[in-house]
Copies of this chain bind each other. A is one copy, B any other.
């Protein structure tokens, strides 16, 4: 009996092992397989797969399709079960100033002028250094990953430190060093800015995550020469140009007075506009400007929270989209103008703000704002070949969203649920360039406790520096 049992055991084992080998040998290798979720691809057909899967090799998506097909085709070293969850391209925060997390809530509810000149400029002069920028970026990375943001476009100072921290957090960034016609916390004049930025652009060339960029602040803080010099530098290195455009009424009025034309037309006239430019805000743009932006393939970024909070005005988002402009979504800085980095809130707000402004509930719908947070955000950053949708060949940037909260059910329409009901806190798992940076709400690339503790310390020193 014992002998017989042993023989049966050995035979059974051999059979199972050879079956296993056979099943493995004809499978292609993958590094990561996401299985069983509702895959919202945001591809050109806006395909949604009810029981889908995504296969990843290295930092790239190699297949998107039905779960059973991909499970049969790929043997993955890591598998994440997404059953009952949404799988989406990571959100793209098209405009922000991440180190300003450390100024979050420092004097809201004041005029922009008071905020800038009484509070933020003095606070920046007294507190912003490379160390500040590093801690602010770490805190922002934690917050953005938690909310499903995988790529963000930033404009600040010490942008090389922002880039190092962004890379360390495993996030994708379009990171612009600021040019401005007054002494900045990092560089005191244009020649310093040019030297710093050239070094910065050289350093990050070819990096898989970091797109070093040039950020002339705006037409009201930069001379024509600063604008043109910074653009020339950017174009020498094929780097993106990030700029605030048509954000404020005074900017538009002054441009009409001084240049005899709108901010957009002025930027076009001096050779700044092109398919490498990302214009934040675009509130004071008219139909002619919209055509120019579309023709020059400028990407625009709408920041509804900021525009409402500062009372800047309402961007003609629907009109720009209709004119063929790529319009993304941004949070703007998390101080004075939001005060967080939650792109899902911006989706909700973008739709609701357009509706109430036009007194038309059809003005901008749920699908449109999800597009703005994903594929259109990628187009606005001129990165649509790289990110923004779940398609083979694109970078493996995606998020898993839980549907197990009371506010997540029932779900009649996925886009409506994303825009109007689901929250940043529903994001469970985040993958950027094939690397899992958050798993089941646990951050894997940022020391969150340390960043939070440091932010509390900074609060004390910043408040003291302002005599608060």
Q: Which residues of A contact B (CB under 8 A)?
A: 101-102, 104-112, 139-140, 142-143, 146, 305, 307-311, 313-314, 334, 338-342, 345, 348-349, 351-353, 355-356, 358-363, 365-366, 404-413, 416-417, 420-421, 423-425, 448, 451-452, 455-456, 458-459, 462-463, 468
Contact assessment for B362 and A421 in the assembled complex, using a CB-CB cutoff below 8 Å: no
Contact B421 A105 (CB under 8 A): yes
Contact between chains at A456 and B105 (CB < 8 Å): no
Q: When the two chains form their complex, are residues A105 and B362 in contact, meaning their CB atoms are under 8 A apart? A: no
14 chain-A/chain-B pairs, Cβ below 8 angstroms: A104-B412, A104-B417, A106-B412, A107-B412, A107-B413, A108-B420, A142-B406, A309-B355, A309-B361, A310-B361, A339-B416, A342-B407, A406-B452, A410-B459
Residues of B within 8 A of A355 (CB): 308-311
CA distance A314 to B314 in the complex (A): 15
Bound form: Cα–Cα A408–B359 in Å: 34
- CB-based contact B420/A423 at 8 Å: no
Main secondary structure of the interface of A (DSSP, over half): helix
Q: Which of B143, B405, B410 contacts A406 (CB 8 A)?
A: B143
Residues of chain B contacted by A407 (CB below 8 angstroms): 104, 143, 146, 334, 340-342
Query: Given A406-B146, A420-B309: A105 and B339 within 8 A (CB)?
Result: no
Q: Are A356 and B425 in contact (CB under 8 A)?
A: no
A351 to B342, CA, bound (A): 17
**Contact B311–A359 (Cβ < 8 Å):** yes
Partner pick for A409 among B104, B352, B424, CB 8 A cutoff = B104
A424 touches B421 (CB 8 A): no
Please indicate the chain B residues that have their CB under 8 angstroms from the CB of A342 in the complex: 407, 423
Additional A-B contacts beyond A311-B355, A410-B459 (4; CB < 8 A):
A109-B351, A140-B406, A340-B407, A340-B421
CA distance A314 to B359 in the complex (A): 10
